[in-house]
Structures are given as structure tokens and as C-alpha cells.
Amino acid sequence: MTSPPRLTVYRCPDDGQLVAARADACSTCGRSDLEPHEVSGDGFVVVWTTIHVPPTRYAGEAPYTVVIVELDCGLRTMGRLIGDSGRELGAHVWLHHVDTERGPIFEPVDPM
């Protein structure tokens, strides 16, 4: 059995503060040498929207759903949602994989 995919975030070596995207410095102490840190991709949907008119390079993929997920570690990150279920506030999702062009791809834990 393969282990579930993990999401890379960044961690401050001084105070442990996590940030979801690469930042120039820790928002708490200002330290600039943040370290990559892996976290679980489990979380819940806090915002979602369906894109019907996408940027040109994704035109063939529309419509697709973009979500903001609050991860179990407390960070929020944006990604795409697989399928039609899970488009509700509070839906439990997990990280399916990370696409190099599209970023995190989430899937509902209990698809309806």
C-alpha cells in the first residue's frame, strides 16, 4: 500500500510558524530562511467556486471547481476539486495529488 500524498508547505526554524506558499520571510519573526515541511493534505472546504470561463490555457478543462481548503495543520490553501461532489462548505477533502501546473488537487473523502 502506498502512503497518502503529502503537501509541501514552509516552516520557520525559529518559531515553527507554517506558511502555505513560499514566502520571503516568516510573518511572525521575520526570519527569511524558511524550510520545506510536509503536512497531511486532509482538510475541509471553506470556499468553493466553479470556473466556467477559464484562462486560455485551461479552456478545454472548463467547467472545473476551485476550492480553498483549511488543512488539518491550520493553514489554508487553494486547489482544484475532483468531481461534482464536495462542493459544499465544510466538505471533508483529502489531497489526491499535486499537479506541477495546477497545484493541489483535492478529492472528497466521502463522495456522494
Calculate what percentage of the chain has a pLDDT beyond 70.
96
**Scanning the structure block, which residue is given the C-alpha cell 467556486?**
49
pLDDT digits (tens, 9 = 90+) for 20-55: 877 788 888 888 889 999 999 999 999 999 999 999
| Mean pLDDT, all residues of the chain | 90
* Domain ranges within the chain, ordered by starting residue: 7-108
State what percent of residues in the chain have pLDDT above 90: 67
Q: What is the mean pLDDT of residues 76-99?
A: 91
Answer whether 105's CB lies under 8 Å from 80's CB: yes
Residues 6+ apart with CB under 8 A from 72: 39, 40, 42, 43
CATH architecture of 7-108: Beta Barrel (2.40)
What global pTM score does this model have? 0.86
User: What cell was used for 9?
Assistant: 508547505
Residue 1 — very low, low, confident or very high, per pLDDT cuts 50/70/90? Answer: low
Is residue 106 scored above 60 in pLDDT? yes
